[in-house]
Amino acid sequence: MGDTGAWRIRGRALPGGEPCDWFVRDGLLTAEPVAGAVDLLPVDSPAGDSWILPGLVDAHCHVGVGRGSVGTDINTATAQAVAERDAGVLLLRDAGVPVDTRALDQVPGLPRIIRAGQHLALPKRYMPALGLHLNDESELPDAVAAQARAGDGWVKLVGDWIDRGVGDLAPLWSPKVLKEAIGRAHDEGARVTAHVFGFDALPGLLDAGIDCIEHGAGLDAELIAQMRSQGTALVPTIINIASFPGIADGAGRYPVYAAHMRALHARNPEMLAMAIDAGLDLYAGTDAGGFIDHGRVVDEIEALSAAGLGNERALAAGSWAARRWLTGQDGLVEGARADLVAYASDPRVDLNVLRSPSHILLGGSLVGR
């Protein structure tokens, strides 16, 4: 854990860019002056020289999944969380891991993790070392309810994966069982998301009322409109989709699947353009863990901007808007946890600024400068 104390934070706060003057008391932001507070940031100009951002968010990562998509020990998981924190990522949505990482919640100075429990899949229809592989889809509703109770308000389904019997991506679950399972999660107060690469699994998931789609490369205009109308979010994991040609290269025994993955990769820019034009809620997630290094959310924010979202909306997707979506709370407001990152210039002008935070404050403690 870094330095603690009563801090005064002056600069320009995002979103908006207006001058701010915050104090930190007991790890929380307050506008009330705190006796003996020390200036955290340079204040050489009237508005301050720093730009203050609510901590970055990786809305799809796997703290606890190591290289080769296997579970890790707690030391490796801790190192993964530190890599995120040092990149300014102070809130993570853990989109499924096979190990219990709750011990990290007791380690000072690590990002907050919102967990989705374990991936729910069927035998031979997902990576064998990850998740729970149910015997039959009839077990899904009970399994979803159990994961809803075990997680932090999210459940993760594997929506599609290669079916070696047909040699291509295929859905895992029937529409009827999905509707029952997602209903069970909602009854438990949890939201549901699903890994989906292709198209065929999407109609059943959306008709069942799923809350979020991960990856979503197979989305078309009609499904995007349905997502928009029912408030289903998309975490497109663009830097993960970039790996599809390599996946295809390694799928020599399944040429139809390989061609499908290349086609999904090729049309992903078109899909993203449709999603952005439709006003779909998009959030930044890297799929870190397994094959993507932790601490790369800035790469994903830049990719979202380049896809047509623009700098400010892409930044929102990896900061304040993502925080509101995941926690229901805004970032830099009275009484909020003092989780913030400071930069020497406006990251909305140049997203590369995000790679060089001047100060990282987590729960009121200075953990990076």
User: Domain for residue 132, yes or no?
Assistant: yes
Q: Are 291 and 339 contained in the same domain?
A: no
User: Domain for residue 2, yes or no?
Assistant: no
Can you read off the two tokens belonging to residue 46?
């009237």
Q: Are 346 and 238 contained in the same domain?
A: no
Q: Are 264 and 288 contained in the same domain?
A: yes
| CATH code assigned at 15 | 2.30.40.10
- pLDDT at residue 42, rounded to an integer: 76
Per-residue pLDDT of the chain (369 residues; tens, 9 = 90+): 456 668 999 999 999 999 999 999 999 999 999 999 999 887 654 445 799 999 999 999 999 999 888 899 999 999 999 999 999 999 999 999 999 999 999 999 999 999 999 999 999 999 999 989 999 999 999 999 999 999 999 999 999 999 999 999 999 999 999 999 999 999 999 999 999 999 999 999 999 999 999 999 999 999 999 999 999 999 999 999 999 999 999 999 999 999 999 999 999 999 999 999 999 999 999 999 989 999 999 999 999 999 999 999 999 999 999 999 999 987 899 999 999 999 999 999 999 999 999 999 999 999 987
Q: Are 36 and 60 contained in the same domain?
A: no
User: Domain for residue 116, yes or no?
Assistant: yes
Among 325, 342, 360, the domain boundary falls at 325
Q: Are 311 and 177 contained in the same domain?
A: yes
Q: Are 128 and 25 contained in the same domain?
A: no
Is residue 193 classed as helix, strand or coil in its secondary structure?
strand
Q: Are 303 and 285 contained in the same domain?
A: yes
- The total of structural domains in the chain comes to 2
Q: Are 190 and 274 contained in the same domain?
A: yes
Query: Which residues, in sequence order, are CB contacts of 159 under 8 Å at separation 6+?
Result: 171, 172, 173, 194, 195, 196, 201, 202, 205, 213
Q: Are 114 and 217 contained in the same domain?
A: yes
State the residue range of the domain holding 68: 56-325
Give the span between the Cα atoms of 282 and 285, in whole angstroms.
9
Angle between helices 255-277 and 221-230 (to 10 degrees): 50
User: Domain for residue 198, yes or no?
Assistant: yes
User: Domain for residue 335, yes or no?
Assistant: yes
- pLDDT at residue 290, rounded to an integer: 86
Q: Are 348 and 205 contained in the same domain?
A: no
Give the span between the Cα atoms of 34 and 238, in whole angstroms.
43
Give the span between the Cα atoms of 178 and 202, in whole angstroms.
11
Give the span between the Cα atoms of 110 and 87, in whole angstroms.
12
Query: Which residues, in sequence order, are CB contacts of 79 under 8 Å at separation 6+?
Result: none
Give the span between the Cα atoms of 282 and 316, in whole angstroms.
10
| CATH code assigned at 111 | 3.20.20.140
Can you read off the two tokens belonging to residue 358?
């001047």
Under a CB-based contact definition with an 8 Å cutoff, are residues 282 and 307 in contact?
A: no
User: Domain for residue 1, yes or no?
Assistant: no
Q: Are 49 and 61 contained in the same domain?
A: no
In order, the DSSP letters of 276-340 are HHTT--B-----BSSSS-SS-HHHHHHHHIIIII-HHHHHHHTTHHHHHHHHS--SSSTT-B--E
Q: Are 87 and 228 contained in the same domain?
A: yes
User: Domain for residue 219, yes or no?
Assistant: yes
